[in-house]
Structures are given as structure tokens and as C-alpha cells.
Structure 1
Amino acid sequence: MEKEFPVIETKRIILREVTTEDANDMFNYLSDTDVVKPMGLVPCQTVKDVWDEIKWYKSIYEEGTGIRWGITLKDSGKVIGSCGFLNMLTKHYRAEVGYELSKDYWGKGLASEALEAVVKYGYHHFQLERIEALIEPANLPSQKLVEKQGFRREGLLRHYEFTCGKFDDLYMYSCLKEDLNLI
């Protein structure tokens, strides 16, 4: 029996499951170097590359290791980014949060709105105790975004990932349930 994918609604956006019908919308931002570089990804070259990303979203949900919502505009239903959990370890009540947003929507508070909703969902529905965010030192907007949501920088993980032919240092940020007074 397949569990129903949860939908989260906020003031301006709906977070929902993405499908192959969303691939063209997703290609618009997943093919943008400025959007995917901080994620350690190579820009998508074709819509077929986006299908692989959608398959990954589906696989982590089915395996119970994560969930990735498409960030959609309420007025149009257009997918403008994604936000969700990966590397979820229910045994340890923790997960990593990740997100990206089309450059057309940067600076409008939509990523913050999505992140806040996803973090609250994680604490309430997955009973997470700790949510982590791994962010490249040069990605100041992302650092400001998580800090605004109550995340604290814990330290630098040197050469933590190997992406796009190089080793990346990443800051470890975390937010505990008690940090948000959700106990």
C-alpha cells in the first residue's frame, strides 16, 4: 500500500510531490549554474536529466530516507524549487534539510516560507529532534536563510564532499526541536 504524499500549504506556496509533468518547470532552475552549483550538482542539460532528479525524490520517499516537496506558486501551480529532507535517520531522530529555488524568485522570502514549513513538518510528523543543513562557506544567502530559521553553525567539515571534480568544505548547521520551542 502506497502512503499518500503529504501536501503543505502556506500563505503563498503549496509544497507537493513533483511528477514528470513538472519537469519543464524544474528544468528552468535545475539547468541554472547559479542555482545548482551550491548543491554540488552539474546543471541539467536536458529535461531527461530532470527526470533522474524526480526519480531520486521518489526513491528517497519510498525508502523512508527522505522527502522532497516541489515548491509551487499558489496562483499558478508552477514549480519554482524544492525543499525537503534527505539522509533521514529515524533511529537517531535526525535528518538533513536541502532546498533550491529558481533565481527568478530569490529575495522574495519564498525559500524562507518553504523552509519554515518543512522544518515544522519534520518536527511534528517525523518526530525529528535534530535537523541539519550543510552549506558551502561561500553561500552566504543560504547561511542567512537557515540562521533566520533558528539554525546554529556548529563548525566546518573540511573536504566533506567530492562534487564536480573537487573537494568541498561545508559548514554544519543544526536546529534542535527545543531551539524552536516546539516541545
Structure 2
Amino acid sequence: MTLNMDSFPVLETERLVLREIKKEDASSILNYLSDAEVMKYYGLEPFNSLNDALDEISWYQSIYNNKTGIRWGITLKEQGIVIGSCGFHNMVSQHFRTEIGFELSKEQWGKGIAAEAVGAIINYGFEHLHFQRIEALIEPPNRSSQKLVEKIGFVREGLLRNYEFTGGKFDDLYMYSLLKQDLDIKY
């Protein structure tokens, strides 16, 4: 399970191009990560400045450079503007395991874009990064993310009580997982 450092992988789906997020994308990222509804389950306060977006981009670059994760910008093919992101973090290579994360601009909700993007990176993760297990940690009130991962085939394994401290409070998180063989059975 290694990331190829020579070139960032670009993934294409029917409607989307998933690509590396650059500093030039900061204003697009600020646009949707400043929205309180988008940030409700993100674990951070809504962004207030271009510097907040640049810090987020720096984090994306650092997890890639440190080989602990990879985050793609979600763009519509005809536009090229980043409307969300998705990727892997907390990669544990010796256990062939990672966590998945995703968010999308509110204007794009309900169009199947997040599911299309997440499906593409899951396939990439199993085929090219050789994951055995992909985890999703989701707050119980976040029904839309739960529905998305369940539709793809993730299994809810249990509740992690007071697992995360964000926004001045402890949050419970559901642990979901998708195993490589789950996809083999499903298709």
C-alpha cells in the first residue's frame, strides 16, 4: 500500500474529474467550507478566511507527502471548479486499512455526486492502494452520509462513544467498514 509520489492520480467518472487540490483552489474551498451546514459534521468550525482554506490545502498536501492519506478535489467535468473533496486519511499500511472522508458544496447535494466520487476512490483504494478495509466514522445525526455509505455496501459495526472531541464537545461516531471481499460478493 504505497502512494506513487511521481504523479498525483487523476480519476474520472461519468460526470466528474477527481484531481489534486492546489493553492489556486483556495477560494472555491472557502466557498463551501465556510457554510455551517456543510461543516456541521466536519469536525471544524466553518472557515472564515482564505488562510483557513490554504491551511486545509496544506493538510491535504502533508498527508499525501507523508503517505498517510490522499485527498482529491471533486470537480464537474465541464467546469473544473472544486465543489467538494474526498479521500483517505489515517492510512495504516501494515494493516491495509484506512478511513474515508468526503464533503460536498450544498448546491450539489442530492445529485448523486458524492456517491459517484466516493465509489471512484473506493475502487482506486482497493485496486491500486491494496486496501483490505476502508472505514467510515460518521456522527449518528448525519443520516445522509450514513445512507451514502450503506448504499455503497458499508456495514455499521457499532457505536464509538465519545470518540472525538470537536467544537467543544464529545461526539459519538458510528464505525462503518467496507472490506475488499464485500465488493467481490456484491458485484
Per the alignment, in what secondary structure is the counterpart of residue 27 of structure 1? helix
Q: Which amino acid aligns with 2:124?
A: Y
Matched, 1:147 2:150: yes
**RMSD in angstroms over aligned alpha carbons?**
1.3
Per the alignment, in what secondary structure is the counterpart of residue 39 of structure 1? coil
Query: What does 1:44-63 align with in structure 2 at a 5 Å threshold?
Result: 44-63=47-66
What corresponds to 1:73 in structure 2? Answer: 76
Inter-partner Cα distance in structure 1 for 2:171 and 2:22: 31
Moved over 4 A (4+): none
Matched, 1:85 2:85: no
Displacement of 1:3 = 2.0
Displacement of 1:134 = 0.3
Inter-partner Cα distance in structure 1 for 2:120 and 2:157: 23
Q: Which amino acid aligns with 2:142?
A: N
Superimposed CA distance per residue, residues 90-125 of structure 1 (whole angstroms, 9 cap, x where no aligned partner): 100000000000000000000000000000000001
Q: Which amino acid aligns with 1:44?
A: F
Matched, 1:122 2:121: no
Where does structure 1 lack aligned partners over 5 or more consecutive residues?
A: none
Per the alignment, in what secondary structure is the counterpart of residue 41 of structure 2? helix
Matched, 1:18 2:27: no
With over 3 angstroms needed to count, the CA separation of the structure-2 counterparts of 1:2 and 1:154, relative to structure 1, is closer
Q: Which amino acid aligns with 2:23?
A: T
Matched, 1:112 2:110: no
**TM-score normalised by structure 2 residue count:** 0.96
Inter-partner Cα distance in structure 1 for 2:13 and 2:73: 13
What corresponds to 1:64 in structure 2? Answer: 67
Between the two proteins, the alignment pairs up a number of residues equal to 183
Per the alignment, in what secondary structure is the counterpart of residue 42 of structure 1? coil
Displacement of 1:139 = 0.3
Superimposed CA distance per residue, residues 7-46 of structure 1 (whole angstroms, 9 cap, x where no aligned partner): 0000000000000101111111110111112111111000
Inter-partner Cα distance in structure 1 for 2:46 and 2:113: 22
Identity %: 61
Matched, 1:164 2:167: yes
